[in-house]
Amino acid sequence: MKLVNGFDLMEYAKKHNYGLPAFNTTNLEMTYAIAKGLMNANLPGYIQISSNNLRLSNPEIIAQIARDAVKKSEVPIALHLDHGKSFEDVKACCEAGFTSIMIDMSALPYEENIRESRRAAEYCHFYGLPVEVELGALRGKEEDVVNEADCKTDPDMVADYVERTGCDLLAVSIGNVHGLCLNPEIDIPLLEKINRVCKVPLVLHGGSGIPKEVIWECKKYGLIKINYGSDLRKEFIRTFGEAYEENHNEHDVIHLSVDSVENVSKKAQELVTMINEH
C-alpha cells in the first residue's frame, strides 16, 4: 500500500473507532521498524519525524524510506511531519511526499502563532494535506529543547484558535510531558472541556509513560492521535548499549541494526495494540 493521505487515515480511524499512534523515527532502522510493528498488529498509524531529526537526513530521504517500508502494508499508514518548526520545513515535507503536517508555533505569542499556523495550513490545504497545530506547552525534553513551564491548553481560547488557524487537528497540553524523566498527570476534565468547544480531532503528545487506561478514557473525548517517541528510541538504543556492555569490541553493525528493527517493531506493535484494546 502507498502512504495514505492524513485526511483518509483519520476518516478510517473514525469509522473503525481506532486510536492512531504516531511513532517518531530518526533513521532507516526506526522507519522500517515502525512500519513492521503496525503491519504485524494489522492496525493503522503514523510514521513521523520532527524538524530536529531531519538534520540527520532530509525530507526526500525519509519519504523514500517510508514509501518502501509500507509498500507491503495492508493497513493505512501516513507520513507526518512532527513539530515542524518553520514554514520552510513544511514546504519541503509537502514537496517530498509527506501526507500529513504539523506546524508548531506554540512558543510564539498568540497572534503570531495564529498567523504562522494559518499560513502553513493554507499552503498544505492546497496540496490536500491535513495540518496539526499546538496550543499550550509541554514540560520535559523535546529533542534538544528543555521546557520547564507547564502551560496547559486554555479551553476558552480553543474555539478562536481553531477557527482562525484553519487547522485540522489540535495538539493539547493537559498534563502530558515529553520524555521519560517526568510523570504525566493527565487532566481528563480539562480534555473534556476542550473537546466540547473544539471542532477538530485532538492530539496527545508525549504518549510514552501514560497508562493505557488513561489513553482509553481520553479516546472518549476527541482524542484520535497519540505520539510516541521515547519508548521506541529507548528500545533502539538499548539494543546497541547491551551489546557494547557484553563486549566492548562489538562491531557487527548490520546484525545489531537488524536486531534493533525487531526490538523497536515489537514495542510499536505493543503500543498500537494497547491503545486499541478498549
Angle between helix axes 59-69 and 28-41 (nearest 10 degrees) is 30
| Rounded CA separation 28/42 (Å) | 21
For residues 135, 138, 144 and 145, what is the CA-based torsion angle, rounded to 10 degrees?
Answer: 80
Of the candidates 159, 165, 170, the one whose C-alpha atom is nearest the C-alpha of residue 203 is: 170
The radius of gyration of the chain from alpha carbons, rounded to an integer in Å, stands at 18
Environment class of 44 (CB within 10 Å of its CB; exposed 0-12, middle 13-18, buried 19+): buried
In this structure, are residues 138 and 177 in contact, taking their beta carbons and an 8 Å threshold? yes
Catalytic residue among 8, 82, 187, 231: 82
Is 154 one of the annotated active-site residues of the chain? no
Question: How many residues does this entry show for the chain?
Answer: 278
**What are the residue numbers of the active site?**
82
